[in-house]
């Protein structure tokens, strides 16, 4: 496989297209009154889950780009406090920040000057390819979880299939 084809496939992976719904599809038209609700037997809210996606992706981006990277505490730095709530504006800001960071990762992948297989300085042999794969895998897992949460909570718009 040539580099351009690999980059295009990685970009699609980050975009969440293919066999499952994208982040943008999963969060579309999410109702204001459910942002801070919990689905039955779930310890976090829809906003908590989206904020977790944002925090984790931001950490991966920092890991790739910051030679002075320090790993944050798990799980505290990757999830909002259990009792934290968000306004609609904060929920939307979380979504925007996630999309901006995803675009930054996508731009790195599509930059032909970046070697997908080069070891990221200061890491134990990790590459951009590895980090993008981890990010996309993590995002796909939780986007699916968010979609199921919506189904359980009854927050899909009328006519959603």
Q: How confident is the model at residue 1 (pLDDT cuts 50, 70, 90)?
A: low
Q: What is the pLDDT of residues 69-116, one digit of tens each?
A: 999 999 999 999 999 999 999 999 999 999 999 999 999 999 999 999
How large a percentage of the chain has pLDDT more than 90? 94
| HEC profile of 32-72 | HHHCCCCCCCCCCCHHHHHHHHHHHHHHHHHHHHCCCCCCC
Q: What is the pLDDT of residues 102-155, one digit of tens each?
A: 999 999 999 999 999 999 999 999 999 999 999 999 999 999 999 999 999 999
Flag whether pLDDT at 20 surpasses 90.
no
Between the alpha carbon of residue 79 and those of residues 22, 65, 107, 137, 149, the distances in Å are: 21, 22, 26, 18, 17
Output the pLDDT for position 160: 86
Whole-number Å distance between alpha carbons of 83 and 26: 23
- Domain spanning 3-153: CATH superfamily: dinb family like domain (1.20.120.450)
């Amino acid at each position: 496989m040539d580099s351009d084809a690999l980059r295009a496939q990685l970009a699609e992976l980050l975009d969440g297209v293919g066999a499952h719904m994208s982040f943008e599809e999963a969060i579309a038209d999410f109702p204001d009154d459910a942002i801070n609700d919990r689905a039955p037997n779930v310890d976090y809210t829809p906003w908590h889950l989206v904020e977790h996606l944002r925090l984790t992706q931001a950490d991966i981006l920092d890991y790739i780009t910051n030679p002075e990277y320090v790993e944050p505490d798990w799980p505290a730095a990757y999830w909002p406090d259990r009792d934290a709530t968000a306004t609609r504006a904060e929920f939307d800001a979380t979504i925007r920040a996630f999309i901006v960071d995803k675009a930054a990762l996508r731009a790195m992948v599509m930059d032909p000057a970046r070697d997908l297989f080069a070891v990221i300085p200061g890491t134990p042999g990790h590459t951009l390819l590895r980090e993008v794969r981890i990010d996309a895998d993590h995002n796909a897992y939780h986007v699916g979880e968010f979609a199921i949460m919506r189904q359980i909570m009854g927050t899909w718009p009328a006519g959603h299939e």
